[in-house]
Amino acid sequence: MPQDRRTVARLAHIWLALALVAVSVLSLATGPTGTSLWGALGKMFNAEPLTAMERVVLWDIRLPRLIIGILVGAGLAVSGALMQGLFRNPLADPGLVGVGAGGTLGAILAIVLGSALPIWLSDIVGNMLIPVSAFFGSWLVIVVLYRVSTRHGRTSVATMLLAGIALAALAAALSGIVIFLADDQQLRDLTFWSLGSLAGATWTKVVITAPLILIAIGASFFLGRGLNALALGEATASHLGIAVQRLKLVTILIVAMATGAAVAVSGGIGFIGIIVPHLLRLATGPDHETLLLNVALLGATILLAADIISRLIIAPAELPIGIVTAVLGSPVFLWILLRRRGLVDM
Amino acid sequence: MINARDIRVTFGKKPILYGVDFTARPGEVTAIVGPNGSGKTTLLRALTDEVRWTGQISVNHRDIRIYKPWELAAIRAVLPQAATLAFPFTVIEVVRLGLMSGIHGGKDRIAQYALQQVGLAGYENRFFQELSGGEQQRAHLARVLCQVWDPVIDGVPRWLLLDEPVASLDIGHQLLIMNCVQNFARRGGGVVAVMHDLNLTAMVADAVTMIARGEAIAQGPVAEVFTDHRLSAAYQCELKTNAVPPNASAFILPQTAALRGH
Amino acid sequence: MKIWLKKAAGLALAMMPAVAQAEGEKNVLAIGGSVTEIIYALGEGDRLIGRDSTSSYPPEATGLPDVGYMRALAPEGVLSVGPGMIISEDGAGPPETIEVLQAANIPFITVPDGYSAEGIVQKILTVGEALDVEAASIALASDVRMKLQEAEEAADALAGDAPKRVLFILSTQDGRIMASGTNTAASGIIEMAGGVNAVTAFEGYKPMSDEAVIAAAPDVILMMDRSGDHFVSDEDLFALPAIATTPAAQTQSVVRMNGLYLLGFGPRTADAVLDLTAALYKG
């Protein structure tokens, strides 16, 4: 019999925050070049100049990567928890609303057709063509999905589920057509993009994605009560005073923003959205009011840990982070399913 | 006061309610009875705005369409016939959900009292999904009671709308719950309950509305509404009130039961 | 821990704040198989401290740290091998990594692609200039130019009036035939070896429809000799519906050669041309 889980969940805020800080420091302090964080801090403290190497590694490489890692990890995990709350199902994941498929379609279009852009346009967009295109791809799919599932001002979650599957299939088919136009190099670029990576983290990307993801995550903290009520069904939630349609709309928008931005800058990273909320529900209960913050913290921590692995395991080359999360995530997921067999009948 | 005029509900092309009038007064338990498929649950769902209806409904003299969701939640609580639960909440966590829209905020004490009232004291930290059907129904009732814990606030009565609250309970628990519900009404709150069991209705209801084939065929005190003729016509079988069965081996009526120890 | 300390120490020695190139310093990162080959051919192999995943020749190169696939370089990974200079084939990426390397003030010299004898010469000269061994590079370049000329003349002689139509297939995975159109290394080497690219309808390596393959009517199929998953046996190859009706299938003509050797366009290309010509016309 579980004790009152609220206290445990609130204590978890502290533990997880500490864990995140620890992994963040570890992330800044480790890397294949062996550049030392402490050495640099020491120098700064003594007002000594840093070497070019220290500056580049710590400021241009590791720090933006750390920030993007935190944002993407938290964003994906929170999006997963929100999707599960919205669909009232612990197996739901942002991919259900076609965000991933739309993002991939956007990326493919950018990779294959990017060279056809006029020079003045590609100069403006620069390196951001793929992320921007991926982001718009995600949004397009979500907007279409919302329109299709909403009638008379009411969004049917069941319709969203089916329509999401259909739209994802459509996006994949369109991607397939574009892939046929691609040459070998572009296909490889696409493969690497799909496997996910934080290696392309730049300050530009930080500046663009941070507001999107932070606002999304911040807004999600206000949805805790509503999602709890929603667990009893839409009618009951409405009787409890929750504006259900607004809750659905805000949830979808938040997921679109957070996942869209995350996929745009880091490609396809899987499992975080399903594993992290699951683990926390098992440990501290499904109360969304405490769950969402914990999910954000743990998602960021786990992604940073995966990133450290991806950077070191085959140094000086890098393993795409999507592979690390899949390799670590699948056994955990199976373990969760096996353990829960007796507990809950889904 | 809950007042409904000319309520019509259609599902697709099929009309369910053909212009029903309904009234419920605070301080009274108003039951809605009728055979299966008569539309009694649909009437309740119209009152709780779960289906599309035409006509007029007012709660506490205010048109229901004017209320914001949270305003309505502060004055009326709804117990559904069946509910799902998507995640492994504990009993106390589910009951606490009732407190979110009431004025009592997160007072755990109230949640515990509510559980006591429905006979689930000690069940706080058990997983909701592990409870039996009847226990889950009672836990939901505890939640609903939390939502409108004070039956009257500043002279404004609050409402319980219950869809078959005792359907899956054994007779002892049925009595417990009906007692609890009656108590709420005695303290000034209003209760509207769709009821299956005619004996329990007769025992507890102050007013009853009988629905048959989508129309309200009678409304008033129990003795007036429960006539042999009307009941037989509504339920399509020969029903006799206040008659002892001639060759019965045993008959057990809730009216003659007494709760122990409460 | 030890590796990092070693690297940090090596780094401290190699990376003094003003990044000036002392001659003969061991701090060159080579990206691209042909670049690595050229560096070794110039006798400067000792100066290498790293390479990419396509640099498989000479065998000594494989002992160097591998920074991965050249279009997916990790910035810190590249920096960790301690490069004082990076010499790369065209197409290294992603752009974010290149920018970081430039921000670190590491000279990044791109060697242009060129699927012809002149192209190879230019590569050798560019690498030679970067390494400050221009005399050696000029010597190597003229040697290579001479050999290539001889090889091409021999090829033309054998081809005569009836050059063979050659289809280069990159892969047949998922039942899709990825073949070489014009303006690729494969197309270049085929022309140099006295053959004719059976495909002229598109540029680059693209998937071809079965009917297009049949219409191309190649006399010979040319492939890289891959092992493992990418390996397609002759039997499986000629069983493919697109290929089964081609003249190549009728004469069972398939040529397999090492990828870097055949397509690298580096110092060994003259030999590759001779080998390919022999395979096309005498095999």
Length of chain C: 283
Confidence check: pLDDT of A2 > 60: no
Question: Which of A3, A89, A287 faces B93 most closely, judged by CB atoms?
Answer: A287
Confidence check: pLDDT of C165 > 80: yes
Q: Is A159 on the interface with C (CB under 8 A)?
A: no
Confidence check: pLDDT of B50 > 50: yes
Q: Which two tokens stand for residue A234?
A: 């839409």
pLDDT of residue C3: 55
Per-residue confidence band for A51, with pLDDT thresholds at 50, 70 and 90: confident
pLDDT of residue C230: 64
- Report the half-sphere exposure of A193 (CA within 13 A, side-chain side): 28
Compare all CA atoms of chain A with the CA of C82 and give the residue at the minimum distance: A33
pLDDT of residue A3: 59
| C71 close to C94: Cβ distance less than 8 angstroms | yes
A117-131, A179-193, A198-212, C71-85: which has the minimum mean pLDDT?
A117-131
CB atoms within 10 A of CB B254: 17
Tokens 């004719």 -> residue: C196
How much is the average pLDDT of B77-93? Answer: 89
The partner residues of C179 in beta bridges, in order of sequence, read C169, C206
Q: What's the mean per-residue pLDDT of chain C?
A: 86
Per-residue confidence band for B131, with pLDDT thresholds at 50, 70 and 90: very high
Confidence check: pLDDT of C5 > 60: no
pLDDT of residue C236: 83
Per-residue confidence band for A73, with pLDDT thresholds at 50, 70 and 90: very high
| B191 close to B159: Cβ distance less than 8 angstroms | yes
| Residue-wise DSSP of chain C | -HHHHHHHHHHHHH--SS----TT-S-EEEESHHHHHHHHHTT-GGGEEEB-TT---SGGGGGS-B---TTS--HHHHHHT--SEEEEETT---HHHHHHHHHTT--EEEEPP-SSHHHHHHHHHHHHHHHT-HHHHHHHHHHHHHHHHHHHHHHHHHHTT-PPEEEEEEE-GGG-EEEE-BSSHHHHHHHHTT-EES--SSBSEEEE-HHHHHHH--SEEEEE---GGG---HHHHHHSHHHHTSHHHHTT-EEEE-HHHHHS-STTHHHHHHHHHHHHHT-
Quote the minimal CA–CA distance from A143 to chain B in Å. 26
Please report, as a single letter, which amino acid is at residue B104. H
pLDDT of residue A48: 82
**B86 contacts on A by Cβ (under 8 Å):** 88-90, 231
Length of chain B: 262
Cβ–Cβ gap C77/A317 under 8 Å? yes
**A60 contacts on C by Cβ (under 8 Å):** 75, 100, 103-104
Q: How far from each other are the two terminal CA atoms of chain C, in whole angstroms? A: 55
Confidence check: pLDDT of A286 > 50: yes
Percent of chain B with pLDDT over 70: 97
Please name which of A314, A325, A331 lies closest in space to residue A72, comparing C-alpha atoms: A325
Tell me whether chains A and C touch (3+ CB pairs under 8 A): yes
* Interatomic CA distance for residues A75 and A47, integer angstroms: 37
Per-residue confidence band for C7, with pLDDT thresholds at 50, 70 and 90: low
Which of the two residues, A50 and A203, has the higher pLDDT score?
Answer: A203
Confidence check: pLDDT of A343 > 80: no
Confidence check: pLDDT of A319 > 60: yes
The partner residues of A250 in beta bridges, in order of sequence, read none
pLDDT of residue B248: 79
* Interatomic CA distance for residues A323 and B190, integer angstroms: 60
* Interatomic CA distance for residues A303 and A308, integer angstroms: 9
Confidence check: pLDDT of A341 > 80: no
Confidence check: pLDDT of B105 > 70: no
Cis, bond preceding C58 (omega within 30 deg of 0) = yes
Q: Which of C27, C52, C76 to mutate to test the interface with A (most CBs of A within 10 A)?
A: C76
Give the three-state DSSP class for B155: coil
* Interatomic CA distance for residues B46 and B194, integer angstroms: 13
| A316 close to C65: Cβ distance less than 8 angstroms | yes
Q: What's the mean per-residue pLDDT of chain B?
A: 90
Question: Which of A242, A287, A345 faces B69 most closely, judged by CB atoms?
Answer: A242
A142-156, B57-71, C5-19, C54-68: which has the minimum mean pLDDT?
C5-19
| C192 close to C202: Cβ distance less than 8 angstroms | no
How much is the average pLDDT of C67-91? Answer: 90
Q: What is the pLDDT of residues B16-45, one digit of tens each?
A: 999 999 999 999 999 999 999 899 999 999
Burial class (CB in 10 A: 0-12, 13-18, 19+), C202: middle
Confidence check: pLDDT of A243 > 70: yes
* Interatomic CA distance for residues B27 and A274, integer angstroms: 49
Which of the two residues, C267 and A181, has the higher pLDDT score?
Answer: C267
* Interatomic CA distance for residues C130 and A214, integer angstroms: 46
- Report the half-sphere exposure of A25 (CA within 13 A, side-chain side): 7
* Interatomic CA distance for residues A19 and A26, integer angstroms: 10
Burial class (CB in 10 A: 0-12, 13-18, 19+), A123: exposed
pLDDT of residue A47: 83
Q: Which of B87, B95, B108 to mutate to test the interface with A (most CBs of A within 10 A)?
A: B87
| A241 close to B144: Cβ distance less than 8 angstroms | no
Quote the minimal CA–CA distance from A71 to chain B in Å. 27
* List of chains touching B (3+ CB pairs within 8 A): A
Tell me whether chains C and B touch (3+ CB pairs under 8 A): no
* List of chains touching A (3+ CB pairs within 8 A): B, C
Length of chain A: 346
Confidence check: pLDDT of A116 > 70: yes
Quote the minimal CA–CA distance from A130 to chain B in Å. 38
Q: What's the mean per-residue pLDDT of chain A?
A: 87
Confidence check: pLDDT of A309 > 80: yes
Cβ–Cβ gap A317/C170 under 8 Å? no
Which of the two residues, A298 and C96, has the higher pLDDT score?
Answer: A298
How much is the average pLDDT of C259-276? Answer: 91
Q: What is the pLDDT of residues B134-164, one digit of tens each?
A: 999 999 999 999 999 989 988 899 999 999 9
The helix/strand count (H/E) of chain A reads as: 16, 2
pLDDT of residue C1: 47
Cβ–Cβ gap B73/A5 under 8 Å? no
| A72 close to A217: Cβ distance less than 8 angstroms | no
Q: How far does Cα B78 stand from its chain's mean position?
A: 8
Handedness of CA C225, C229, C234, C239 (dihedral sign): negative
pLDDT of residue B203: 92
* Interatomic CA distance for residues A255 and A250, integer angstroms: 9
**C91 contacts on A by Cβ (under 8 Å):** 185
Cβ–Cβ gap B50/A235 under 8 Å? yes
**A241 contacts on B by Cβ (under 8 Å):** 69-74, 100-101
pLDDT of residue C227: 62
pLDDT of residue C2: 52
Percent of chain B with pLDDT over 90: 70
pLDDT of residue B43: 95
Burial class (CB in 10 A: 0-12, 13-18, 19+), C280: buried
Q: Is A53 on the interface with C (CB under 8 A)?
A: yes
| B163 close to B41: Cβ distance less than 8 angstroms | yes
Q: Which two tokens stand for residue A255?
A: 């997921």
How much is the average pLDDT of A214-232? Answer: 94
Confidence check: pLDDT of B106 > 80: no
CB pairs under 8 A between A and B: 81
| C207 close to A183: Cβ distance less than 8 angstroms | no
Cβ–Cβ gap A281/B88 under 8 Å? yes
Confidence check: pLDDT of B98 > 80: yes
Quote the minimal CA–CA distance from A100 to chain C in Å. 21
Cβ–Cβ gap A202/C95 under 8 Å? no
Confidence check: pLDDT of A346 > 50: no
* List of chains touching C (3+ CB pairs within 8 A): A
Percent of chain A with pLDDT over 70: 97
pLDDT of residue C189: 93
Q: What is the pLDDT of residues A294-305, one digit of tens each?
A: 999 999 999 999
pLDDT of residue B17: 94
Q: Hey, what's the torsion of the CAs at C73, C76, C82, C84, to 10 degrees? A: 70
- Rounded to two decimals, the pTM is 0.85
Question: Which of A36, A127, A180 faces C96 most closely, judged by CB atoms?
Answer: A127
Percent of chain C with pLDDT over 90: 50
B111-125, B130-144, C172-186: which has the minimum mean pLDDT?
C172-186
**A317 contacts on C by Cβ (under 8 Å):** 53, 66-69, 74, 77
Cis, bond preceding A2 (omega within 30 deg of 0) = no
Percent of chain A with pLDDT over 90: 38
Please name which of B166, B22, B190 lies closest in space to residue B81, comparing C-alpha atoms: B166
Q: Which two tokens stand for residue A87?
A: 């669909």
Quote the minimal CA–CA distance from B59 to chain A in Å. 14
Pairing outcome for strands C177-180 and C254-257: unpaired
C-alpha to C-alpha distances, C60 to C31, C63, C204, nearest whole angstrom:
15, 6, 31
Cβ–Cβ gap A239/B78 under 8 Å? yes
| C92 close to C99: Cβ distance less than 8 angstroms | no
- Kindly give the interhelix angle for C269-281 and C134-159, rounded to the nearest 10 degrees: 10
C82 Cβ contact list (under 8 Å, min separation 6): C7, C10, C11, C14, C15, C27, C49
